[in-house]
Amino acid sequence: MEQAERKVVEEYPLRLRVNGCDLATLVCSPHQLNFLLAGFFLLQGFINSLDDILSMGVCADFGLAELRIRTELPQQLQPTLTSGCGTGITYNLPQNLLNHSRQRLRNYRSEELFCLMKDLQSLTEQYRSHGGIHSAAIGDVDGLLLFAEDIGRHNTLDRLAGEALFKGIELQDKMLVTSGRVSTEMVAKAARLGVGLIASRTSPTDKAIELCEQAGITLIGYLRGSSMEIYSHPQQLQVSGRH
């Protein structure tokens, strides 16, 4: 028997206190928590801009994030435990996304999509070293714009949203690629950002397909090598025979 050292993924419970009240505990990775928190609150509909965050502080020793935001939280929040790793949580999971995405024809090219997925794969150093981590990226015709990794695949979208908020990057009609399964909360978050195409190396759920149909989002699964499966709005993707 040989002994060897191997890195393991870090699981970090982060308790959220907002305007003096306990809100939830996020199970996440411990890096760049400012992006994660800003994106989480944006995609839950609790803030609209960074100006709505009056203060934000994180105590790493106690796993506690204290925030004060401009608006008061709703009195009766209805949390939904999602299918994300570590059991994700969302408070505003819509059943209909017609109002969250512009209903217009977008135009994407398969060459650009395959390049974006290759860029994502080249950046997933943590996954190659010890596994157990999810990754996601957002890009456009010019290539990759934002990249995020987290133990929870739903957290990667929060991180992307938060970083875009801090850097003033517009995500309307951009492409999202992810290493993880695409489920309803992933589609809901992408639609709120205005993303027009979602692609994964693995599969979507049936409800995710339905929501993408409603929101006008092109949904792609099993994007590997030079192959893919298109589940919704194929008319928005121009597929080339060469990749």
Are 204 and 184 contacting, i.e. CB atoms less than 8 angstroms apart? no
Q: Per the domain annotation, does 99 fall within a domain?
A: no
pLDDT of 77 reads 63
Amino acid at 48: N
Out of 56-70, 92-106, 107-121, which region has the weakest mean confidence (pLDDT)?
92-106
Same domain for 73 and 125, yes or no, is: no
Same domain for 62 and 115, yes or no, is: no
Global pTM reads 0.88
Question: How many domains is the chain partitioned into structurally?
Answer: 2
- List the structure tokens of 202: 């693995």
pLDDT of 87 reads 47
Q: Per the domain annotation, does 7 fall within a domain?
A: no
Question: What is the CATH number for 28?
Answer: 3.10.20.10
Q: Per the domain annotation, does 115 fall within a domain?
A: yes
CA distance 152 to 80: 16
Task: Average the pLDDT over 222-243 and give the result.
Answer: 89
pLDDT of 127 reads 55
Report angle CA 80, 82, 83 to the nearest 5 degrees. 160
Active-site residue flag, 28: no
| DSSP SS3 for 66 | strand
pLDDT of 5 reads 72
Categorize the per-residue pLDDT at 80 as very low, low, confident or very high, splitting at 50, 70 and 90: very low
Please identify which of the residues 21, 28, 59, 85 carries the catalytic annotation.
85
Q: Per the domain annotation, does 103 fall within a domain?
A: no
Which candidate, 8, 6, 9, 7, places its Cα nearest to that of 152? 9
Residue, of 96 and 33, whose pLDDT is higher: 33
Task: Average the pLDDT over 86-97 and give the result.
Answer: 52
| DSSP SS3 for 187 | helix
Same domain for 190 and 217, yes or no, is: yes
CA distance 182 to 67: 30
Out of 10-24, 93-107, 197-211, which region has the weakest mean confidence (pLDDT)?
93-107
Out of 28, 57, 90, a domain closes at 90
Average pLDDT, the chain: 87
Question: What is the CATH number for 187?
Answer: 3.40.140.10
Q: Which domain holds residue 169?
A: 108-238
Out of 36, 56, 90, a domain closes at 90
**H-type helices in the chain, by residue range?**
33-43, 110-123, 125-130, 153-167, 184-193, 206-215
Same domain for 66 and 141, yes or no, is: no
pLDDT of 88 reads 53
